[in-house]
Chains A and B, each alone.
Chain A
Amino acid sequence: MNRRDRASSIFFLALASIVLVLSVWQGIGALGNPGAWFMPFVTCALMIFFALAGLSAACRKGAGAVGVVEAWRPVRWSKNAAVLAVLAVYVALLPYAGFLIATFLLMSVLFRLNALTVKAALLAACLSSGLAYGLFYLLLKTPLPRGIWGF
């Protein structure tokens, strides 16, 4: 156990506590006639118990060698943050721009982020989005989002 375990146990403790209070507030019913919030209540009660057990184990064993910050030190996490931001924009853009345009833009940025030259990134994006459109929309008849331009 280490500082990461302590942080994660506190997260689960907080999450379970919130849902437990919500369950009690909504009404859990009786044992002979359990209500809709009975199961969330039982699940969260157990989560609190095990999160406390995890927290106590983490505290007993001390801070340990691996902390929260160390887990990110040897890696290029900024690349993940960029990919995540691009994906968030894609989700927002998809219903309006449609599959073909939104996916072309997404793939261009993803390929460029992965160190392809601008020309190569555009070509790869064109091919991949076109092939995906052909396979899923034209061949497999998946109703992909059309956007305001109708494709």
Chain B
Amino acid sequence: MDALNGLLYGLSVACGASNLLLLLGGCLLGTLVGVLPGLGPVGAISILLPLTFQLPPVGAVIMLAGIYNGAMYGGSTTSILINVPGEAASVVTCLDGYRMAQKGQAGQALGIAVFGSFIAGTLGLVGLQIAAGPLSALALKFGPPEYFAVILLGFTFIVYLAQRSMIKAVLMALTGILLSLVGLDPITAEQRLTFGALHLFEGLNVVPLAIGLFGLAEVFGNLEKTASAKILTVNIRSLFPGRRQWLAAKWAIVRGSVIGFLMGILPGGGPVLSTFIAYGVEKRVSRHPEKFGQGAIEGVAAPEAANNAAASTSFIPLLTLGIPPNVVLAVLFGAFLIHGVTPGPLLMTQHPEIFWGVIASMYLGNVMLLILNLPFIPLWVQVLRIPDRILYPLIILFCLVGAYSISNSVFDIGVMVLFGVIGYFLKKFDYEAAPLILGFVLGPMFEVNLRRSLLMSQGSFGIFAERPIALAAFAVCAVLILLPIAKRIRKR
């Protein structure tokens, strides 16, 4: 099935009445959770996952894609109105978005964020649609050595692009791999790190881990604060940017889309990093860099475009190789597995309704969010006015039910609470939780492919040099590892 026919088929799946309703519900719920400060797409997907359990796989996956898209859109609202990012990818939007709101241009800032997100998200989807087929075909030629090398490359990128210390990122990724090893060995069925506990035989589940690290830990972090964020009293006169603002923002949207497109595919890159790069590039190419941070509309348009383009293209490695490139997609990967869908090169042929249905639903979701977000902005502002003392207990309740309903186990609630505490301490000690989740999700694939490669080669690491794809991946890894070392030596 070529890309155009695939998309038409996907549209026929996604346009079914029930799937459209699920998509709409997903977009609205995702935006609602995305709007809440601190709870980004990871929290949104983890907490809302139980709502999809009774649905057929296609409907569930479509709803999850809607939640993801909605959360990405919703994050910018809090950045602009209260200077608190709804999720990590909206941090940069605070810089100019909040300043625009202070100047009485909150409507235009929210408007350009929505339009920029729509344009970039759609461009990203076109890329996803075109690249998915050839990449899936290539991935079918992968054996264990290629998979191992590509996953190792992913880990290297995650560490290389870490926002804080690289050593800490490596330690987090390794801790994630170690946690993924708890349970029965996938090859020999021997018990590992279970300490005889029956609940640990099947290993830990990614969802309680993610809810704990990204949901409960966030609540703990907010509960201890002695002051709460103040919502700016804004008079939103018009959500449509003026002609001059459009002219100023149009190239920022294009550049942001291109950066987001490329960063989305990179493992470890994703929406968060793309926003920082897009903002930096925009400031560098601007004739008035001094206006950045003072309410420049390009400073809102570029990062918002980048984060939504990256959100679309980050599906490319997930759907074609079965490798989630960032933490949100790692949780989504776990959610797909819960619904009996294994992302990877065979998804396109074995479940074309899901593969093309997801892509088509993301196109439709972008249109829905564009139409709904503008009139709904006053409602999201009201959501932000819910007092913390009511909001946080409710988020805790959703976290508890979300963790329990994965396997109807009270043990999972305990795991979630434990990882909530761990996530809180990780923040205190300046560790990022994202590499841990990625290590946890990629760990089993990493182990199985390494052991199978060694079995195939009877213990020789030469097998990785004999395969061109594996060799190329190792070469890139070596460059990424050597680059910072060379930089440090040159500094001395």
The one of B167, B187, B220, B417 in contact with A57, judged by C-beta atoms closer than 8 angstroms, is: B167
- Measured between beta carbons, the chain B residues less than 8 angstroms from A115 are 389
Known: A8-B431, A111-B389. A91 touches B413 (CB 8 A): yes
0/1 string, B439-456, CB within 8 A of A gives 1: 000000001001100110
Any A CB within 8 A of the CB of B396: yes
Shortest beta-carbon distance from B460 to chain A in Å? 8
A62-116 residues at the B interface, CB under 8 angstroms: 71-72, 74-77, 79-80, 83-84, 87-88, 90-91, 94-95, 103, 106-107, 110-111, 114-116
| Distance in angstroms between the alpha carbons of A141 and B410 in the assembled complex | 17
**A36 interface neighbour in B185, B394, B429, Cβ under 8 Å:** B185
Chain A residues with Cβ below 8 Å from B400 are 90, 103, 106
Contact with A along B45-72 (1 / 0, CB 8 A): 0000011011000000000000000000
B131 at the interface (CB under 8 A from A): no
Question: Whole-angstrom distance between the alpha carbons of A59 and B187 in the complex?
Answer: 41
**Between-chain CB contacts (< 8 Å), 27 pairs:** A5-B165, A8-B168, A8-B429, A8-B431, A19-B193, A26-B192, A32-B458, A34-B451, A34-B455, A36-B192, A40-B178, A40-B192, A40-B193, A50-B171, A51-B171, A72-B428, A75-B225, A76-B225, A91-B410, A94-B413, A106-B400, A107-B397, A140-B51, A142-B53, A142-B401, A142-B405, A144-B404
Q: Give 10 closest A-B pairs by Cβ, nearest first.
A: A32-B459, A31-B459, A114-B389, A36-B185, A110-B393, A75-B224, A36-B190, A39-B447, A32-B458, A54-B167
How distant is the Cα of A94 from the Cα of B390 in the complex, in angstroms? 22
With A80-B220, A87-B417, A140-B50 given, name 19 new contacts (CB 8 A): A4-B430, A5-B165, A12-B171, A19-B193, A39-B181, A43-B181, A54-B165, A75-B225, A83-B396, A94-B413, A107-B393, A110-B396, A111-B389, A116-B390, A132-B397, A140-B51, A141-B54, A143-B408, A144-B401
- A74-B428 contact in complex given A40-B178, A140-B54, A145-B410, C-beta closer than 8 Å: no
Contact with B along A18-61 (1 / 0, CB 8 A): 01001000100011111111111001101100110110010000
* Most chain B beta-carbon neighbours within 10 Å: one of A39, A72, A129: A39
Q: How many A-B residue pairs have CB under 8 A?
A: 153
Asked if A151 is at the interface (CB within 8 A of a chain B CB), the reply is no
A36 to B191, CA, bound (A): 8
Interface size class of A (residues with CB under 8 A): 35 or more
Most interface-central of A19, A31, A53 (chain B CB within 10 A): A31
Taking A44-B178, A115-B389, A141-B54 as contacts, is the C-beta distance between A38 and B451 under 8 angstroms?
yes
Choose from A38, A54, A111 the contact partner of B390 (Cβ within 8 Å): A111
Using CB atoms and an 8 Å cutoff, list the residues of chain A in contact with chain B.
Answer: 4-5, 7-8, 12, 19, 22, 26, 30-40, 43-44, 46-47, 50-51, 53-54, 57, 71-72, 74-77, 79-80, 83-84, 87-88, 90-91, 94-95, 103, 106-107, 110-111, 114-116, 124, 128-129, 132, 136, 140-145
